[in-house]
Structure 1
Amino acid sequence: MNIYEFLPIRLLVEAAYSVVTAISSLLEPFVGGFSAALAVIVLTVLVRAVLIPVGVSQVRAGITRKRLAPKVSELQAKYKKQPELMQQKLMEMYKEENASPFAGCLPVLLQMPVLMAVYGLFINATIGGHANELLGHTLFGLPLSTSFVKLFATGDLTGTAITVYLVLVVLIAVVAGFSRHLLTPATPETPATPAAAKTGADAPQMPDLSGVMKTLSFMPFLTAVFALFVPLAAALYLATTTTWTLGERLILNRVLGAHEDQTETNTRVTD
């Protein structure tokens, strides 16, 4: 079954198609053949602008993790030989602080539907029962529906194609490097509770998120590789959204005081 025949996804692609074609038509008198490519970039910016509140939530979650880090480390040291009790204490701490160890993970996934829609715009011959006009648009002579891997497989890889994809991949990789160096917070590792150590069926368990956070920190680098396999239009989306993320986080970190001292007046953990 074609996933783009699934009603919610089909409606999403049709909505994206209407937006991109409308923006492309507006831009065409000014930029000519670059209109569709720029329309994808504009769509990306519009989507990211709508998701700014989500970015704010993500930065605040990072601030909360930084503020609670001393308590987490203290609990880990205090209950090192009692991992099941440590898990319980950590969960109780998050509950008392009205925080969640999962906060900040969800925003990474919210853009997936948009990427899926942009991908669908340039692989489907028909959208909404009509011929897909976007398939005829190019960027520097490269069809927006093609990919680096496809060009390589068919022997159609040209100097222009190599240059365009090299710029996109290097841009994503460089931005990813800055993002990981400047924005990735240190997250204390939370030892998992041994399977044999159980305090009861209803005992709360603290998930080990250290591995998740490390994986998420490498996601932008994986994005650079992924850009070689998707249509050029989707690669433009990836480059734009990755660059936006870095700029947005730098601004929000400054506005929300993410780099200020988050030490609480009382970080001691009591029994």
Structure 2
Amino acid sequence: MSVFADLVQHLADLLHPLFGAAAAAAAIVLFTAFVRLLVHPLSRAAARGQKARTALQPKVAELRKKHQKEPEKLQKAVLALHAEEKVSPLSGCLPSLFQMPAFFLLYHLFSNTTIGGQANELLGHELFSAPLGGRWADALGDGGVFGGAGLVYVALFVVVAVVASFNFWRTKRMMAAANPAAQLAVAGAEGQQVPGLGAMTKVMPFMSFFTLFTVAVVPLAAALYVVTSTTWSAVERAALYR
């Protein structure tokens, strides 16, 4: 943890001539961009995997019809199909999984008052008048929604809402454009939909809005990571899945 703290502090020192008191916040944004660049090859692989899985949906639909009363055989047949076509069902999860350590490092770093037995100096850094170790509840108690710290969160919420709305619109459009064969692939035995899948499909477009809750409850430093990463993801997915 102390090594990571030193890294953030050194990066903030380098950026201080450009960003002044907001150098630590800028360092977190730059660190997030660096993490996303490292994960980008996985994102490209996930996009290729998604396209490949979509292309396999007609074959999956045929397997569901063939084994509609034999769930175990269906599962084995679908896995064998993915293996034969060299398509990983889990490839889409890898970019998110590889980012989690960076998020939790920031979360713990700006949630602890001490690091290695010494005072955590990073907690003294601010974004305008909002402490990087503070939360939205702290901002509400110190000036309210439109106080100095509160306005920082208002700006973050606006960015998240815009990105979430874009993701919502894009997800709805992609789902509406799904071909009939792909829709058949989610059908279960005797043409009945897989239990719970309909509800999940309805909820999926709203998932991006859950980021608003995350930004509200985590330290501001972690919130900056989430907002930057979410914005990057929206732009990246729009380019990769166009």
Fold-level similarity (TM above 0.5): yes
Matches within 5 A, 1:51-66: 51-66=39-54
The residue aligned with 1:91 is 79
Residue 144 of structure 2 corresponds to which residue in structure 1?
A: 157
SS at match of 1:233: helix
Instruction: Determine the structure 2 residue equivalent to 1:28.
Output: 16
Alpha-carbon displacement from aligned partner over 1:197-229 (angstroms, at most 9, x marks no partner): xxxxxxxxxx99958985776543212211100
Write the distance in 1 (CA, Å) between the matches of 2:159 and 2:213: 12
Q: Which moved more, 1:163-172 or 1:240-249?
A: 163-172
- Alpha-carbon displacement from aligned partner over 1:235-266 (angstroms, at most 9, x marks no partner): 1111100011112222333xxxxx5xxxxxxx
State which drifts further: 172-181 or 136-145.
172-181
Any gaps of 5 or more consecutive residues in structure 1? 1-12, 193-206, 254-258, 260-271
Q: Following the alignment from structure 2 to structure 1, what is the Cα–Cα distance between the partners of residues 159 and 28?
A: 17
Return closer, same or farther for 1:167/1:226 CA change in 2, 3 Å cut-off. Answer: same
Give the direction of change, closer, same or farther, for the CA distance of 1:210–1:14 in structure 2 (3 Å limit): farther
Q: Is the 8 A contact 2:139 2:150 kept in 1?
A: no
Q: Are residue 237 (structure 1) and residue 225 (structure 2) matched?
A: yes
Residue 28 of structure 1, CA deviation: 1.0
Task: Classify the secondary structure of the residue corresponding to 1:227.
Answer: helix
Q: Corresponding residue for 1:10?
A: none
Q: Determine helix, strand or coil for the equivalent of 1:104.
A: helix
Aligned positions of 1:117-266 closer than 5 A: 117-152=105-140, 154=141, 156-159=143-146, 160-182=148-170, 188-189=185-186, 191=188, 218-253=206-241, 259=242
The gaps in structure 2 that reach 5 residues or longer are none
TM-score under structure 2 normalisation?
A: 0.81
4+ residue segments displaced more than 6 Å: none
Q: Distance in 2 between matches of 1:51 and 1:190?
A: 33
1:47-86 matched pairs, under 5 angstroms:
47-86=35-74
Rounded Cα–Cα distance in structure 1 between residues aligned with 2:21 and 2:103: 23
Q: Secondary structure at the match of 1:92?
A: helix
More helix by proportion, 1 or 2?
2
Report the residue type matching 1:157 in the other structure: G
Structural RMSD (CA): 2.9
TM-score (norm 1): 0.73
Is the Cα contact below 8 Å between 1:190 and 1:209 reproduced in 2?
Answer: no
C-alpha distance in structure 1 between counterparts of 2:206 and 2:221, whole Å: 23
**In structure 2, C-alpha distance between the alignment counterparts of 1:209 and 1:46, rounded to whole Å:** 37
In structure 2, distance between residues paired with 1:123 and 1:18: 16
| Contact 1:176–1:221 (8 Å) recurs in 2 | yes
The structure-2 alpha-carbon separation of the partners of 1:208 and 1:58, relative to structure 1 and needing over 3 Å to count, comes to: farther
Which stretch shows the higher mean deviation, 88-97 or 18-27? 88-97
